């Protein structure tokens, strides 16, 4: 497997990106193609002792930042490392693409340069999130603020095929629709219509799910519009972070609590790791005709390593071919 | 202050309700009017040694349950303790009303029997939630799945007046609009239009807020539609509950971690109390022309006591008069 990696995407580029790429080459034997300023990559690697064996570089003079308008990837930033990586993916120079750069630019760029799967009306960003019994997928987490019921059905199919094949053993996974109650008739028009479509979809649809039950793995694929999904993604992070701060404060209260902290420290580390979504390797951008993975903007080398591994898995398991086959002509949507 | 209390609302009615009422009479000197089956109230009180001094009872033969269709409060359940309480409130037999019964029925019943404040187009359910530095208000948490931008503006005004007067010292509080990013142009049409209205509202509007920052008290009044609000309310509960379960499991790992647990136990109890929204006394139903408080369905005596105290405060601080004054004729909406 050959994974193209945007060496200039994210807060810690390029050093942590090339470090992560180097780890992925060494640990998984994946071939990595870096995109970005060749000279700076070589200098950074040399200065920091990063081994670039097993990697090639496609030179790209520009960088698109988080502050840049997403659509600028098609215009003033079309020479950026991200744009170059996407075009290389489209041209078949690699099997998958990873970037920790601007989410908006990645969605626009992937849609324009790599194209959507035929019949899929919207690409969806689908991060894996920590549940009490393991990861679940949230689809969509913010790429599509306004959606139609048929799009939620497509999100469900795509998420289900990904989770079943990349994260599972091929068996069907549970699909749930985020709603304000579990009864069939809850929610607004979007939920009513999506519910009916999902019920008749042939998927393992567990029905409407309440947000309270999401962290308890009530579904493996949590289907929702991008506005609600974005709130779910960020609130999970916020609540966990606020609670961990409270607990840290408790442990710092006095000598006794500080001693208690030392006694549970290794286990709290495990919990932190369990809660840390970077272990799951970033979010697939589902609906694009080739595997694209969005790594977290603040990814370190370890997160990039995992993202590259997941990108290779995504390509190897043939998920996109399975999505193509699942989108029957009569289900396809026009834009 | 005279607070009418639905003695047959919620999972623990009537015993915990009348116990809570008894505590409120004793601690705050509030007069309580119970609604419900008179004989059963008297028997339950006697059997459990609950002192009914300072209370009167308005007999109501029926009960509306969580499973009943909300609109049935206007028809087959119009003799229920909740309906009777709302009509008594409308008739001026008390200054505020508390129920731990069906949220849907309470919204329908309050709107029909007590009526909305003139010019207010929707009643909103506005629970107080635990933030890292104290409670904040979420408005709306589920009464209105579909809203218009002007309704969000009214929610903001109502929430602001409540938080400023009942929970604060009268000074302006921070109002934020839930969105997928902090930039002014984020979100869909609803958010764009609401943003513009809030910007020109004269409120202390801090702009768009991300869900990640909500638990950190980025706003005192968190404004959103009822669908998103319901997700925020329930996901906060779910994530906190999942994380506390993980931490509990850590403490149960072995003899050393069990010892550590004992060392921090009192502080964890404080944290649990801090996270426990029942201490804040339930959710005001804002926009109704008299004070109505929805207590949590599983309220115990202590939660009911707090809800009665908050209901009395709500009435005493003149919040409804202030909302009426704030709704200028040109801002009022037709249904």
State the smallest CA–CA distance between residue A302 and chain B in angstroms.
24
Where residue A335 falls among pLDDT bands split at 50, 70, 90?
Answer: very low
Weakest mean pLDDT among A32-36, B27-31, B129-133: B129-133
How far apart, in whole angstroms, are the C-alpha atoms of residue A310 and residue A305? 9
Residue range A10-36: mean pLDDT, rounded: 97
Domains of chain A, by residue range, sit at: 1-120+287-335, 124-279
Is the CB of residue B268 less than 8 Å from the CB of residue A250? yes
The whole-chain average pLDDT of chain A stands at 94
pLDDT at site B303: 93
- Quick check: B211 and A230 CB within 8 A? yes
For residue B180, which residues of chain A lie inside 8 Å, CB to CB?
Answer: 142, 145, 226-227, 230-231
For residue B194, which residues of chain A lie inside 8 Å, CB to CB?
Answer: none
Per-residue model confidence as pLDDT tens digits over B156-172: 999 999 999 999 999 99
In this prediction the pTM is 0.94
Per cent of chain A over pLDDT 90 is 90
Weakest mean pLDDT among A267-281, B22-36, B123-137, B290-304: A267-281
Supply B62's token pair: 């029926």
How far apart, in whole angstroms, are the C-alpha atoms of residue B326 and residue B178? 23
Per-residue model confidence as pLDDT tens digits over B77-111: 999 999 999 999 999 999 999 999 999 999 999 99
Residue A277 has pLDDT above 90, yes or no: no
Where residue A273 falls among pLDDT bands split at 50, 70, 90?
Answer: confident
Q: Which CATH number fits domain A1-120+287-335: 3.40.50.1370, 3.40.50.10790, 3.40.718.10, 3.90.25.10?
A: 3.40.718.10
Per-residue model confidence as pLDDT tens digits over B256-271: 999 999 999 888 888 8
- Domain B1-121+287-321+331-335 fold is Isopropylmalate Dehydrogenase (3.40.718)
Taking domain B124-278, whether its CATH number is 3.40.718.10 is answered by: yes
For residue A178, which residues of chain B lie inside 8 Å, CB to CB?
Answer: 231
Where residue A328 falls among pLDDT bands split at 50, 70, 90?
Answer: low
Per-residue model confidence as pLDDT tens digits over B166-200: 999 999 999 999 999 999 989 999 999 999 999 99
Is the CB of residue B221 less than 8 Å from the CB of residue B197? no
- Quick check: B235 and A239 CB within 8 A? yes
Weakest mean pLDDT among A286-295, B279-288, B316-325: B279-288
Is the Cβ of B206 closer than 8 Å to some Cβ of chain A?
no
How far apart, in whole angstroms, are the C-alpha atoms of residue B207 and residue B210? 10
pLDDT at site B275: 76
How far apart, in whole angstroms, are the C-alpha atoms of residue B158 and residue B176? 13
Where residue B51 falls among pLDDT bands split at 50, 70, 90?
Answer: very high
Q: How far is CA A64 from CA A5, A17, B184, B300, in A?
A: 14, 15, 21, 55
pLDDT at site B200: 97
Cα nearest neighbour of A234 on chain B: B212
Is the Cβ of B253 closer than 8 Å to some Cβ of chain A?
yes
How far apart, in whole angstroms, are the C-alpha atoms of residue B233 and residue B214? 11
If we measure between CA atoms, which residue out of B330, B250, B273 comes closest to residue A260?
B250
DSSP letters, A118-150, are TT----EE--EEEETTEEEEEE-SSS-SS--HH
Residue range A77-97: mean pLDDT, rounded: 98
Supply A139's token pair: 């689809």
- Quick check: B274 and A215 CB within 8 A? no
Is the CB of residue A124 less than 8 Å from the CB of residue A145? no
Residue range B316-334: mean pLDDT, rounded: 79
The whole-chain average pLDDT of chain B stands at 94
Instruction: Please give the CATH number for the structural domain made up of A124-279.
Output: 3.40.718.10
If we measure between CA atoms, which residue out of A142, A63, A141, A73 comes closest to residue A108?
A73
Using the structure block, give the residue that is written with the tokens 């109890």: B269
Do the domains B124-278 and B1-121+287-321+331-335 match in fold?
Answer: yes
- Quick check: B180 and A226 CB within 8 A? yes
Where residue A282 falls among pLDDT bands split at 50, 70, 90?
Answer: confident
Per-residue model confidence as pLDDT tens digits over A1-15: 999 999 999 999 999
Longest dimension (CA), chain A: 67
CA of residue A151 relative to chain centroid, distance: 18
Where residue A278 falls among pLDDT bands split at 50, 70, 90?
Answer: low
Per cent of chain A over pLDDT 70 is 97
Per-residue model confidence as pLDDT tens digits over A107-141: 999 999 999 999 999 999 999 999 999 999 999 99
Residue B272 has pLDDT above 60, yes or no: yes
Is the Cβ of A206 closer than 8 Å to some Cβ of chain B?
no
pLDDT at site B173: 97
If we measure between CA atoms, which residue out of A99, A326, A136, A141 comes closest to residue A233?
A141
């Amino acid at each position: 497997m050959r994974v193209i990696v945007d060496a200039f995407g994210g807060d810690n580029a390029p050093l942590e990106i090339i470090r992560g790429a180097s780890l992925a080459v060494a640990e998984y034997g994946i071939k990595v193609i870096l995109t970005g300023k060749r000279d700076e990559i070589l200098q950074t690697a040399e200065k920091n002792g990063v081994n670039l064996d097993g990697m090639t570089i496609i030179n790209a003079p520009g960088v698109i930042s988080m502050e840049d308008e997403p659509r600028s990837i098609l215009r003033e930033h079309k020479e950026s490392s991200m744009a170059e990586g996407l075009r290389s993916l489209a041209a078949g120079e690699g099997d998958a693409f990873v970037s920790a750069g601007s989410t908006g630019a990645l969605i626009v760029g992937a849609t324009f340069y790599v194209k959507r799967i035929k019949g899929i009306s919207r690409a969806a960003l689908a991060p894996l999130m920590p549940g009490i019994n393991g990861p679940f997928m949230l689809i969509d987490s913010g790429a599509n603020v306004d959606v139609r019921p048929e799009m939620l059905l497509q999100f469900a199919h795509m998420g289900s095929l990904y989770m079943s094949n990349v994260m599972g053993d091929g068996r069907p996974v549970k699909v749930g629709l985020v709603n304000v109650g579990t009864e069939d008739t809850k929610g607004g028009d979007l939920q009513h219509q999506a519910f009916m479509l999902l019920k008749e979809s042939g998927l393992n649809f567990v029905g409407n799910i309440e947000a309270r039950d999401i962290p308890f793995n009530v579904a493996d694929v949590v289907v929702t519009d991008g506005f609600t999904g974005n709130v779910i993604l960020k609130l999970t992070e916020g609540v966990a972070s606020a609670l961990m701060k409270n607990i840290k404060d408790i442990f710092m209260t006095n000598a006794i609590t500080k001693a208690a902290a030392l006694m549970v420290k290794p286990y709290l580390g495990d919990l932190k790791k369990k809660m840390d979504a970077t272990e799951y390797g970033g979010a697939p951008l589902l609906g694009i005709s080739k595997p694209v993975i969005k790594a977290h903007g603040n990814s370190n080398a370890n997160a990039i390593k995992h993202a590259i591994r997941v990108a290779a898995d995504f390509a190897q398991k043939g998920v996109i071919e399975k999505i193509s086959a699942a989108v029957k002509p009569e289900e396809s949507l026009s834009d």
